[in-house]
Amino acid sequence: DTDNAETLNGRTYERLPVILIPRIIYPNKPSESYGNVLICHFGIASPYRIKDECYKKNTTSINLNVILEGYINYKIPGLFFSSFLISFLAALAFSLIRTSKFYLNIFGICILYQSIMYQSNLSGVFGGVLICIIGVIPLMLLKRINET
């Protein structure tokens, strides 16, 4: 069925440029609701024949992970891009873990966790890395305070 096989052409990545802006500053920030894209857009296990009806009435969600997200956006090039991105995050994490600085080790462990736990979509992975960074900064400050 070619109606259900069209790609999303980057629609799931539209939120990435504003992911770092808190909703208190940008109240109309686009929400993320791609948990039902596999059901409604691609017709996987959907009892609805019309996509709009599915998006309105569907209450089931199927996880959209990074690699699958790359594929449904851009087919094979998206698959390569998302695989490369996860590999890059893992390589960055390992290089940070190998350093002798404590806080860089923690950054590395947090990034490694996000890169191997790719069940989330791309904005979820980036959001997880951001939360790790925000969580590590107070640890860095506490370590410096304790050293003085």
Name residues whose C-beta falls within 8 Å of residue 115's C-beta, 6 or more positions apart in sequence: 86, 89, 90, 93, 125
Predicted model pTM: 0.71
| Cα gap 137→102, rounded to integer Å | 12
Per-residue pLDDT band at 3 (split at 50, 70, 90): low
pLDDT one-digit tens code per residue, 25-40: 988 887 777 777 777 7
What percent of the chain lies above the pLDDT cut of 90? 1
Mean pLDDT of the chain: 79
Largest separation between any pair of C-alpha atoms in the chain: 67
DSSP 23: T
* 71 vs 79: CA distance, rounded Å: 5
φ/ψ of residue 146, rounded to 5? -70, -25
33: tokens are 């609701």
Q: Residue 115 in contact with residue 89, Cβ under 8 Å?
A: yes
Which of 79 and 62 is assigned the larger pLDDT? Answer: 79
